[in-house]
């Protein structure tokens, strides 16, 4: 296949970036999108040009490292991670625009690499159960209904890639935060801190500079982990409940 | 230079032994050791600094637990978030001897299965302790809110895994590693908020600082700014994972590397059993030159899928057109008792054998069929979808083929490294103050790891073992402050800077990846699934030549003071080029077959692995020879007092 | 050693971005109730002048003698104005935050599933706000008079909507209102935390139906007047 790539090149956070066009010939349909970039980088290196920087690690769709906006859609035309996207999703002669996640709380580090440290800080604000190592009761002490465990799992499947933020017209991180609220809130172990958790995490999310949610649903539509939109409703429910004074411990 | 060299490659030094495990009956060793070790009082802990490298299951759980205890923990990792360490990709599950199934499981049985599965090349004391704390891990994880699979009664579900006869594997669909890691990560972030842990993302450890014989800090590179930083502490914990990426193509993440371990090795830590690598039989085969990594398909597929190749060589017909009598279901034929469910090492070698015979399928003839046609006919398509749907989807996503219609193609791939830095019962390396946890150490899996045991070991080390053993060392601290201009620090910083300059300054013609790929091919061919005397010797020569070429002709563009991914990879490949040689030497010297290490010269008449307990029932711990000097072998004899040494059989 | 979540100093829940959204959702629900009642009243036009003017008079006397004449309308007016101020204030704050959250736009950006309604809430809301001001000047204060001045509300109504461009303005405003409601109703339910996966599609369908009912209800009298069906 012959492909024309327009890739965002940006030296660092301070310098403005621009799209640079690269022509690629002999692209195999069986290549993953990132392998196509690998080959591009090998060619650039051979020509003495600096290779394109992009984040990636596991290349099996679970670590959440990779993620670029391809033709205006986070992770591209398939609902999967960029590393699991294969070139057979494109046609011979296509022009593909590749940009980094764009959100001010995710500043560009270089080319397609952004800093997603804001997500870690949102988790640090309350995305956990406060249990020190060794303090745990026997695992079977508290049965958890299967439906609750399954719902918790579905939300916990979030890989923290940031596609939700990238796709949101408001650059909101609600789906990410809501996934953790829903995960921990669905389980008995998460109940004691439930009311405080939602306020702390949302507060941190706002402080990081993410936009507010307007329930458009782009986030869930591009989420490679399939975190459902209803988690946001759950977060909203928990937040409203936390406004009741007796619920705030 | 060649004085006393064995095979012209290495020397033999003094034997070593673990001196920390108490000489009491097996079941009492851990509690005896915990009681016997010194403690550090809570008000003194905040004066003690601990550096943790890596945030996988072992590193994150250790960092969180040490932070909870009140130590000052500093954590470094090359990824952008602690949550992205490669433990996240583990699929199957985590073992624990809870005996929730009432199927006769016990601490002793888990201990027994693990030692046997490891082909009797692991240490009894360590494995028993692993089994002992396994149940606590499940308790801890459940309390953290990890959404393990449950039954309708609300209790935890279990499944069985290869090589054992009980159901002791806890799981969260096919994403157990992800869920366990997120639990540890959240515990770590909780300590970040509490102020006991400081995390440094996108930082890579490039040197260990050893002062007066003790590990006292690390030199790291900030991968964003390129700045070389010195961090000093009272103890250093390596949780930097395995080194499967020496093969270039493996199921490991692209960033997994040996650099932290290798730098420690060069500073004096012994490297144990480097040749023990696990090759997983069910991975998606290579599709082309550009291939960057291999994707594992869960071992569970072998429960219902049937593995076969055409009887005839070079049969390129559509698999569906090949009649039953022209198919060779070679595992069912050769191992009627276990059939398609033989252990990983045996299934992998069998696949290689049929491909070597020219009967492999797919591109390059490197693949065998894993066929679900019979399962679909027997169970119905819906049942197969329910059981394996996500795996089939993943296969289709990667290959573009529909596994409901045509058989999957699979091929073995490097998956895990049992070898690693040598540690004693306290998980302390031969450098005092340097502790090694998780896959980075060698301690628990012997020559072959059983499924669902890696997660168990990582969390056992991080949550329960290290936080108890490290106190004994730290009770002697805080140690004298190391000034920033201490000669050892200056030397470490200079060596890191020199190395970066050397990599950037060569400006040769070949890319880093081209060297890495070539190294991987050498390793796969000469130190892969089947190893021979001649092959290993040839491999060593090739690696040495490649290493020379690397330093003369590598091309790394860009600068040191910026995000430079080629430079990062170059440093890692440089260390792999040294490790690869040691792996070959280790494989050469171990003239027996055991677990994942198969020497063609040591097999039974049926072509099965033949162990040699009389000569090789020891851990091979290698000391860095320095420069061109040959490595020095230190043997730690393995004693089996609680298990009888037996040859494995799966016929 | 460890601190728990509750030790953190946080702003009150109402000040978070979701708190602002709750304000918008709650005031939005008030608007919706008002619109339904208003639309119902307008349809009295089909019952003739006596019914329509009678209804208008009824609103002024509602609650008497506990309330003074027009007391109910005053209370409603105050509640609605306060709601508008809160709704707009929250919208502006969130708009600013969203704008600051992505100061560098995408070169190429392609929504995957967003509806036009969901992506035009802010401009649609602004359109509706301007229209409401115009509408109040026309029918409440009488500042803008089209088609002549009358004491009877019914005559005022008929005279105004015999002019084609007035109907056009109202039709465009109702289009904006309909789109705003279509996403707004769904959004309010989600913001108040009442949506679930199984309810999502029914809620969105209901929102569409309610929006259509309101738009048709509001547009029926003007269109009927324009075409001479109501005189």
For the stretch C114-173, pLDDT in tens is: 999 999 999 999 999 999 999 999 988 888 888 777 888 999 999 999 999 999 999 999
Report if residue B649 sits inside a domain: no
- How high is the pLDDT of residue B391? 85
Chain B touched by C108 (CB under 8 Å): no
Chain C touched by B492 (CB under 8 Å): no
Distance of CA B382 to the CA centre of its chain: 36
Domain membership of residue C206 as a residue range = 14-100+116-226
* A212 pLDDT above the threshold of 50: yes
Mean of the pLDDT values across residues A14-32? 95
Which chain B residues are closer than 8 Å to A50 by Cβ? 557-558
Mark which of B382, B415, B448 sits at the end of a domain: B415
- How high is the pLDDT of residue A26? 93
Q: Which region among A11-15, A95-99, B644-648 has the lowest average model confidence (pLDDT)? A: B644-648
- How high is the pLDDT of residue C6? 45
Report if residue C222 sits inside a domain: yes
- Inter-residue contact A232 to A174 (CB < 8 Å): yes
Give the total number of structural domains in chain A: 2
Chains with at least 3 CB pairs less than 8 angstroms from chain A: B, C
The per-type count for chain A, helices as H runs and strands as E runs, is 8, 7
Same domain assignment for residues B272 and B284: no
Same domain assignment for residues B128 and B250: yes
* C67 pLDDT above the threshold of 60: yes
Q: How many CB pairs under 8 A join A and C?
A: 183
Interatomic CA distance for residues B282 and B368, integer angstroms? 10
* Number of alpha carbons in the 13 Å side-chain half-sphere of residue B166: 23
Which chain B residues are closer than 8 Å to C2 by Cβ? 67-68, 190-191, 194, 196
Chain B touched by A185 (CB under 8 Å): no
Which percentage of chain C shows pLDDT scores above 90?
A: 83
Same domain assignment for residues A101 and A209: no
Q: Which residues neighbour C168 within 8 Å (Cβ) at sequence distance 6 or greater?
A: none
Q: Which token pair is C135?
A: 């509408």
Same domain assignment for residues B156 and B209: yes
- Inter-residue contact B276 to B595 (CB < 8 Å): yes
- How high is the pLDDT of residue C5? 44
Q: Cα–Cα distances in Å, from B454 out to A92, B295, B614?
A: 44, 18, 29
How far away is chain B from the Cα of A176, in angstroms, using its nearest Cα?
A: 14
Same domain assignment for residues A20 and A74: yes
Report if residue B431 sits inside a domain: yes
- Inter-residue contact B208 to B264 (CB < 8 Å): yes
**Beta B49-53 vs B94-95: how paired, if at all?**
unpaired
* A180 pLDDT above the threshold of 60: yes
Same domain assignment for residues A76 and A157: no
Same domain assignment for residues B271 and B128: yes
Domain membership of residue B567 as a residue range = 487-617
How many residues in total does chain A contain?
A: 249
Same domain assignment for residues A71 and A162: no
Same domain assignment for residues A144 and A63: no
Which chain B residues are closer than 8 Å to C7 by Cβ? none
Which chain B residues are closer than 8 Å to A116 by Cβ? 80-81
Name the residue among A72, A67, A70, A82 with its Cα closest to residue A113: A67
How far away is chain A from the Cα of B75, in angstroms, using its nearest Cα?
A: 14
Same domain assignment for residues A185 and A84: no
Q: Which residues neighbour C183 within 8 Å (Cβ) at sequence distance 6 or greater?
A: A215, A216, C115, C117, C118, C121, C207
Q: If you compute the radius of gyration of chain C from its CA atoms, what whole number of angstroms results?
A: 21
The region that residue A201 occupies, defined by phi over 0 for left and psi between -120 and 50 for alpha, beta otherwise, is alpha
Q: Over the range B62-100, which residues count as b (16 or more CB within 10 Å of their CB) and which as e?
A: bbbbbbbbbbbbbbbbbbbbbbbbbbbbbbbbbbbbbbb
Same domain assignment for residues B373 and B507: no
Interatomic CA distance for residues C185 and B33, integer angstroms? 65
What residues does A70 pair with on adjacent strands?
Answer: A73, A98
**Beta A95-99 vs B94-95: how paired, if at all?**
unpaired
Which percentage of chain C shows pLDDT scores above 70?
A: 95
Label residue B161 exposed, middle or buried (CB < 10 Å: 0-12, 13-18, 19+): buried
Mean of the pLDDT values across residues A90-95? 97
Helix, coil or strand: residue B149: coil
SS3 letters across B272-294 = ECCCCEEEEEEECCCCCCCCCCC
CA terminus-to-terminus distance, chain B? 48
Please state, rounded to an integer, the average pLDDT across all residues of chain C: 92
- How high is the pLDDT of residue B1? 44
Mark which of A54, A83, A110 sits at the end of a domain: A110
The Cβ of residue A25 has, within 10 Å, a number of other Cβ atoms equal to 7
- How high is the pLDDT of residue B384? 87
- How high is the pLDDT of residue C10? 64
Same domain assignment for residues A70 and A193: no
- How high is the pLDDT of residue C230? 86
Domain membership of residue A83 as a residue range = 3-110
Mark which of A110, A138, A161 sits at the end of a domain: A110
Same domain assignment for residues A228 and A127: yes
Report if residue C190 sits inside a domain: yes
Tokens 């958890």 identify what position?
A144
CATH number at residue A133: 1.10.1060.10
- Inter-residue contact A166 to A219 (CB < 8 Å): no
> Which sign, positive or negative, has the C-alpha torsion B316, B320, B325, B329?
positive
Q: How many CB pairs under 8 A join A and B?
A: 221
CATH number at residue C19: 1.20.1300.10
Same domain assignment for residues B285 and B407: yes
SS3 content of chain B, % helix, strand, coil (to 5): 40, 15, 40
Q: Which token pair is B29?
A: 């060793």
Distance of CA B647 to the CA centre of its chain: 24
- Inter-residue contact C142 to C149 (CB < 8 Å): yes
DSSP state of B231: E
Same domain assignment for residues A177 and A198: yes
The per-type count for chain B, helices as H runs and strands as E runs, is 18, 22
Catalytic residues of B: 344
- Inter-residue contact A87 to A1 (CB < 8 Å): yes
Q: Cα–Cα distances in Å, from B379 out to A113, B373, B376, B384, B385?
A: 46, 10, 5, 7, 10
Q: Which token pair is B549?
A: 């070429």
Same domain assignment for residues B120 and B249: yes
Q: Which residues neighbour B213 within 8 Å (Cβ) at sequence distance 6 or greater?
A: B431, B432
Closest CB to B80: pick one of A46, A65, A134: A65
How far away is chain A from the Cα of B570, in angstroms, using its nearest Cα?
A: 13
Same domain assignment for residues B309 and B217: no
* C3 pLDDT above the threshold of 60: no
CATH number at residue B186: 3.50.50.60
On the question of a cis peptide bond just before residue C136, with omega within 30 degrees of 0, the verdict is: no
Q: How confident is the model at residue A249 (pLDDT cuts 50, 70, 90)?
A: very low
Same domain assignment for residues B187 and B162: yes
Give the total number of structural domains in chain B: 3
Interatomic CA distance for residues A58 and B83, integer angstroms? 12
Helix, coil or strand: residue A59: coil
Q: Name the pTM for this structure.
A: 0.96
Interatomic CA distance for residues B218 and B227, integer angstroms? 14
Q: What is the mean pLDDT of each run of 10 residues along chain B (651 residues)?
A: 80 95 97 97 96 98 98 98 97 93 96 93 97 98 97 92 83 93 98 98 98 97 98 98 97 97 98 96 91 88 91 93 95 89 86 93 92 94 85 89 94 96 98 98 94 95 98 95 96 98 96 97 96 97 98 97 97 98 98 95 89 97 86 97 84 73
Which chain C residues are closer than 8 Å to A238 by Cβ? 193
The Cβ of residue B607 has, within 10 Å, a number of other Cβ atoms equal to 13
> Cα dihedral angle (B216, B221, B222, B228), rounded to 10 degrees?
80
Name the residue among A35, A229, A48 with its Cα closest to residue B291: A35
- How high is the pLDDT of residue C2? 43
Name the residue among B205, B206, B204, B217 with its Cα closest to residue B488: B217
Q: Cα–Cα distances in Å, from A72 out to A34, C93, C97, C167?
A: 17, 27, 22, 39
Label residue A146 exposed, middle or buried (CB < 10 Å: 0-12, 13-18, 19+): middle
How many residues in total does chain C contain?
A: 231
C91-118 pLDDT, tens digit per residue, is 999 999 999 999 999 999 999 989 999 9
Interatomic CA distance for residues C106 and C112, integer angstroms? 15
Interatomic CA distance for residues B340 and C44, integer angstroms? 79
Give the total number of structural domains in chain C: 1
Mark which of A55, A90, A110 sits at the end of a domain: A110
> Cα dihedral angle (B587, B591, B597, B599), rounded to 10 degrees?
110
Mark which of B445, B474, B503 sits at the end of a domain: B474
Same domain assignment for residues B122 and B258: yes
Same domain assignment for residues B533 and B611: yes
- How high is the pLDDT of residue B287? 87
- How high is the pLDDT of residue B159? 84
- How high is the pLDDT of residue C4? 44
- How high is the pLDDT of residue B160? 80
- How high is the pLDDT of residue C9? 61
Same domain assignment for residues A162 and A138: yes
- Compute φ and ψ for B469, nearest 5 degrees: -85, -25
Q: If you compute the radius of gyration of chain A from its CA atoms, what whole number of angstroms results?
A: 20
Same domain assignment for residues B232 and B320: no
Closest CB to B186: pick one of A29, A46, A123: A123
Q: If you compute the radius of gyration of chain B from its CA atoms, what whole number of angstroms results?
A: 24
**Beta B271-272 vs B618-623: how paired, if at all?**
antiparallel
Same domain assignment for residues A49 and A63: yes
How many residues in total does chain B contain?
A: 651
**Contact yes or no for C1 and B193 at CB 8 A:** no
Q: Which token pair is B286?
A: 């290579």
* C174 pLDDT above the threshold of 50: yes
Tokens 């990594």 identify what position?
B293
Same domain assignment for residues A81 and A203: no
CATH number at residue A26: 3.10.20.30
Give the chain B residue nearest C5 (alpha carbons): B190
């Amino acid at each position: 296949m012959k492909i024309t790539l327009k890739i965002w090149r940006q030296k660092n956070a301070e310098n403005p970036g621009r799209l640079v066009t690269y022509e690629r010939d002999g692209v195999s349909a069986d290549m993953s999108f990132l392998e196509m970039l690998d080959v591009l980088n090998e060619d650039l290196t051979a020509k003495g040009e600096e290779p394109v920087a992009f984040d990636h690690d596991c290349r099996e769709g679970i670590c959440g490292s990779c993620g670029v906006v391809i033709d205006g859609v986070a992770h591209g035309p398939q609902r999967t991670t960029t590393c699991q996207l294969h070139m057979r999703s494109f046609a011979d002669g296509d022009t593909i625009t590749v940009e980094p996640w764009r959100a001010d709380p995710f500043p560009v580090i270089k080319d397609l690499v952004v800093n997603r440290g804001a997500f870690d800080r949102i988790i640090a604000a309350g995305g956990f159960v406060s249990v020190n190592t060794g303090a745990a009761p026997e695992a079977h002490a508290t049965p958890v209904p299967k439906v609750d465990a399954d719902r918790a799992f579905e939300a916990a499947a979030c890989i923290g890639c940031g596609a939700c933020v990238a796709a949101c017209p408001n650059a909101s991180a609600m789906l990410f935060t809501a996934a953790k609220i829903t995960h921990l809130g669905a389980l008995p172990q998460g109940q004691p801190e439930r009311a405080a958790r939602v306020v702390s995490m949302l507060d941190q999310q706002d402080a990081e500079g993410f936009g507010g949610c307007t329930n458009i649903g782009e986030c869930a539509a591009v989420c490679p982990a399939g975190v459902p939109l209803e988690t946001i409703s759950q977060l909203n429910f928990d937040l409203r409940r936390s406004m009741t004074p007796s619920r705030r411990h | 230079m060649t004085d006393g060299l064995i095979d012209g490659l290495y020397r033999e030094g003094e034997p070593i032994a673990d001196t920390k495990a108490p000489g009491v009956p097996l079941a009492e060793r851990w509690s005896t050791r915990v009681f016997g070790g010194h403690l550090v009082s809570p008000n003194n802990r905040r004066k003690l600094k601990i550096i943790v490298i890596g945030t996988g299951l072992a590193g994150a759980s250790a960092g969180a637990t040490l932070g909870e205890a009140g130590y000052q923990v500093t954590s470094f990792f090359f990824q952008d978030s602690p949550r992205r360490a490669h433990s996240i990709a583990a699929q199957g599950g985590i073992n624990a001897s809870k005996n929730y199934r009432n199927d006769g499981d016990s601490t002793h049985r888990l201990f027994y299965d693990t030692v046997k599965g490891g082909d009797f090349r692991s240490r009894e004391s360590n494995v028993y302790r692993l089994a002992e704390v396994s149940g606590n891990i499940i308790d801890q994880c459940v309390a953290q809110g990890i959404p393990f699979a449950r039954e309708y009664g609300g209790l935890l579900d279990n499944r069985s895994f290869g090589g054992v006869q009980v159901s002791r594997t806890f799981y969260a669909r096919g994403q157990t590693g992800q869920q366990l890691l997120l639990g540890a990560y959240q515990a770590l972030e909780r300590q970040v908020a509490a102020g006991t842990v400081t995390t440094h993302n996108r930082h890579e450890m490039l040197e260990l600082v050893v002062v007066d014989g003790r590990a006292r800090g690390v030199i790291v590179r900030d991968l964003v700014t390129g700045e070389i930083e010195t961090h000093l502490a009272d103890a250093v914990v390596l949780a930097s994972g395995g080194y499967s990426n020496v093969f270039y193509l493996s199921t490991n993440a692209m960033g997994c590397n040996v650099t932290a371990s290798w730098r420690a090795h060069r500073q004096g830590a012994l490297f144990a059993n480097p040749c023990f690598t696990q090759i997983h039989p069910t991975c998606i085969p290579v599709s082309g030159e550009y291939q960057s990594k291999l994707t594992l398909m869960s071992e569970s597929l072998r429960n219902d899928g049937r593995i076969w190749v055409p009887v005839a060589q070079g049969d390129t017909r559509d698999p569906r057109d090949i009649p039953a009598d022209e198919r060779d279901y070679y595992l069912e034929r050769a191992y009627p008792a276990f059939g398609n469910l033989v252990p990983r090492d045996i299934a992998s070698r069998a696949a290689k054998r049929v491909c070597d015979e020219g009967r492999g399928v797919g591109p390059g003839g490197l693949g065998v069929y894993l066929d679900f046609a019979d399962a679909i006919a027997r169970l119905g398509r819906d049942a197969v979808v329910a059981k394996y749907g996500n795996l089939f989807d993943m296969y289709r996503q990667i290959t573009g083929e529909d596994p409901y219609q045509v058989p999957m193609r699979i091929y073995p791939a490097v998956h895990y490294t049992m070898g690693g830095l040598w540690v004693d019962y306290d998980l302390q390396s031969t450098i005092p103050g340097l502790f090694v946890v998780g896959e980075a150490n060698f301690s628990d899996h012997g020559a072959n790891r059983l499924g669902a045991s890696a997660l168990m070991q990582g969390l056992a080390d991080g949550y329960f073992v290290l936080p108890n053993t490290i106190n004994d060392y730290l009770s002697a601290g805080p140690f004298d402050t190391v000034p920033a201009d201490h000669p050892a620090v200056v030397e470490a910083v200079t060596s890191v800077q020199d190395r970066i300059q050397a990599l950037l300054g060569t400006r040769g013609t070949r890319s880093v990846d081209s060297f890495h790929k070539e190294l991987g091919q050498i390793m796969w061919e000469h130190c892969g699934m089947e190893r021979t005397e001649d092959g290993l010797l040839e491999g060593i020569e090739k690696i040495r030549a490649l290493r020379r070429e690397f330093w003369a002709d590598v091309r790394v563009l860009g600068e040191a003071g910026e995000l430079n991914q080629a430079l990062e990879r170059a440093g890692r490949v440089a260390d792999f080029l040294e490790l690869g040689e040691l792996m070959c030497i280790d494989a050469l010297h171990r003239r027996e077959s055991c677990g994942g290490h198969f020497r063609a010269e040591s097999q039974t008449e049926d072509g099965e692995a033949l162990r040699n307990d009389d000569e090789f029932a020891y851990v091979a711990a290698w000391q860095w020879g320095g420069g061109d000097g040959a490595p020095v072998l230190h043997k730690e004899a393995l004693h089996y007092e609680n298990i009888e040494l037996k040859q494995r059989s799966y016929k | 050693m460890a601190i728990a979540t509750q030790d953190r100093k946080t702003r009150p829940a109402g000040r978070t971005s979701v708190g602002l959204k709750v304000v918008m959702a709650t005031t939005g629900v008030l608007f919706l109730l008002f619109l339904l009642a208003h639309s119902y009243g307008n349809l009295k036009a089909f019952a003739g002048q006596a019914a329509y003017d009678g209804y208008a008079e009824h609103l002024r006397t509602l609650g008497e003698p506990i309330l003074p004449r027009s007391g109910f309308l005053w209370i409603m007016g105050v509640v609605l104005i306060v709601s508008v101020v809160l709704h707009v204030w929250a919208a502006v704050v969130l708009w600013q935050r969203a704008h600051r959250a992505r100061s560098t736009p995408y070169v190429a950006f392609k929504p995957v599933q967003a509806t036009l309604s969901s992506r035009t809430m802010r401009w649609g809301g602004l359109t509706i706000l301007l229209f409401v001001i115009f509408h109040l000047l026309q029918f409440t204060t009488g500042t803008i008079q089209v088609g002549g001045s009358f004491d009877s509300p019914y005559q005022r109504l008929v005279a105004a909507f015999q002019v084609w461009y007035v109907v056009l303005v109202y039709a465009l405003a109702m289009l904006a209102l309909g789109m705003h409601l279509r996403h707004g109703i769904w959004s309010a339910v989600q913001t108040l935390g009442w949506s679930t996966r199984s309810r999502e599609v029914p809620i969105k369908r209901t929102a569409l139906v309610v929006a259509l009912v309101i738009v048709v209800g509001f547009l029926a009298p003007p269109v009927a007047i324009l075409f001479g069906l109501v005189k």
